[in-house]
Structure 1
Amino acid sequence: MDLPEDVAAVVFDCDGLLVDTETCWTRAETALFAEHGHGFGLEQKKLLIGRTLETAAEAIATYFDLPGEGPALAARLHDLVALELAAGADALPGARDLVTALRGRVPIAVASNSNRAFVDTALAKSGLAELFSHVYAVEDVARPKPAPDLYLAACAGLGVDPARSVAFEDSGTGVASARAAGLYVIGVPSLPGTTLDVHRSYSSLADPELLTWGSGLGLNRR
């Protein structure tokens, strides 16, 4: 399937897609698991990736067999992640070039399952904040991903039809959200070996095909 040419807007996830925040989250999650006497690896990461802070903490509480401790674990994880993000987060390969190519050709936005403070910090630390005037975080909707609310909110904010819009996602949770909202979904998995239910998949935003596609959008508009 060819990449779509009649595109009304492009909406990006943030964590693990535009910005290498998953490294920050993994260090924080590893520390939290160690505090409770557990190791942290790919199996544990798969339980958490793409979730909100609160739903990740509930999954951790279940894993630790600590019923009712979700809120306390969420607070601790929040503090650990905040420390990691404050130390810096880099834009992932190809992110700046692709977003820059799209700007001015089609409307663009960020739709993230993270809270506003984390999203703003990640975009600022990676040097991408200046490229986006529309950023949607989990506080902006009634239901987080995998519900479609974030993508629907982003498309509404941009004034575009979701059915003519493209989403970039790195996790199954995000893909489910974008698909439920009716967008064409391009996957760039952040976990090695992950297969996502998307229309097209790439190993990196730096793939030359994506940059060529982005640079050509809007050229034939009347």
Structure 2
Amino acid sequence: MSEPRTPARTAAAVLWDMDGTLVDTEPAWIAAEHALVTEHGGTWTHEHAMALVGADLLDAGAYLREHGGVDLTPHEIVEELLDRVVDVVVADIPWRPGAQELLAAVRDAGVPCALVTMSWERFAAPVVAALPPGTFDVVVTGDNVERGKPHPDPYLLGAERLGLDPRDCVAVEDSPTGTRSAEAAGCRVLVVPHHVDVPPGPARTFATSLADLDAAALLRVGAQPVAAQPVTADRTSR
């Protein structure tokens, strides 16, 4: 019988979600969904919009077709939504509090980072381009995987491209869908809920804002055996 695996002392890498975690793009997505459904004579509710937070875009397209009456293929729906939200993001990237600072602190600590988002490459690209070069060693977008979140595939691919075991990585997420994906891949998860609540779980550590954290606090999440308590920065560390 093999010996139980001992977690790393701190996380070897950070795998970052984007929408709702690093950038507050959900309002742009929701507005685009409402507009598209209205144009096709359907009705879209807040509950429908919240059901799609963190979801794979093609899954979201199928949902809009079924529940919003949009008579297009899921792929066509995604392209329509992207046409609308890309312009919004390019004009003014809505960073979440503390996101840019924590990204910089993790990189200054020499820790590899991957972006793992269900947004497609043409939506993620302007966000990545607005950050200092080399902020992310790896970028995984929704059009890179056949199965998106909540399946483990995106986080497995992110860790693989970094050459690391996902069990040695900490993922940063804001949604139940993304959190399940990261957990299924074997990651510990720092959850910073935003638009939707995320229930507690044994692999989950919670924070109210990225602005409350420093790099050391984030990296310690990867070593915690049970992580359902709030985490904050160690203000005595540099």
TM-score (norm 2): 0.78
For residue 114 of structure 2, what is the amino acid of its counterpart? Answer: A
Give distance in 1, aligned partners of 2:220 and 2:105. 9
Is residue 108 from structure 1 mapped to residue 126 from structure 2 by the alignment?
no
* One-letter amino acid of the counterpart of residue 101, structure 1: A
The verdict on how the C-alpha distance between 1:107 and 1:69 changes in structure 2, with shifts beyond 3 A counting, is: closer
Q: Residue 42 of structure 1: CA displacement? A: 2.9
Q: Structure 2: how far apart are the matches of 1:142 and 1:193?
A: 27
**Higher mean C-alpha deviation, range 171-180 or range 85-94:** 85-94
Q: Is the 8 A contact 2:137 2:162 kept in 1?
A: no
Q: Distance in 1 between matches of 2:143 and 2:76?
A: 19
Q: Which residue of 2 aligns with 1:157?
A: 161
Q: Identity over aligned residues, as a percent?
A: 34
Partner residue of 1:220?
Answer: none
Three-state SS of the structure 2 residue aligned to 1:109 is: strand
Contact 2:37/2:70 (8 A) holds in 1: no
Q: Is the 8 A contact 2:173 2:191 kept in 1?
A: yes
Provide the aligned C-alpha RMSD in A. Answer: 2.6
SS at match of 2:210: coil
- Using the TM superposition, give the Cα deviation of residue 39 of structure 1 relative to its aligned residue in structure 2, in angstroms: 5.5
Aligned to 1:173: 177
SS of corresponding position for 1:97: helix
State the distance in 2 between where 1:8 and 1:211 align. Answer: 12
* Contact kept in structure 2, 1:89 and 1:122, CA below 8 Å: yes
Gaps of 5+ in 2: 1-7, 222-238
Q: Larger deviation: 195-204 or 90-99?
A: 195-204
Aligned to 2:209: 204
Matched residue count: 212
In structure 2, which of residues 124, 128, 141 is the aligned counterpart of residue 123 of structure 1? 128
Determine helix, strand or coil for the equivalent of 1:179: helix
Of 84, 90, 97, the residue aligned with 2:101 is 97
- TM-aligned CA deviation for residue 28 of structure 1: 1.5
Distance 1:85 1:212, change over 3 A: same
Per the TM alignment, residue 67 of structure 1 is displaced from its structure 2 partner at its CA by 6.6
The gaps in structure 1 that reach 5 residues or longer are: 218-222
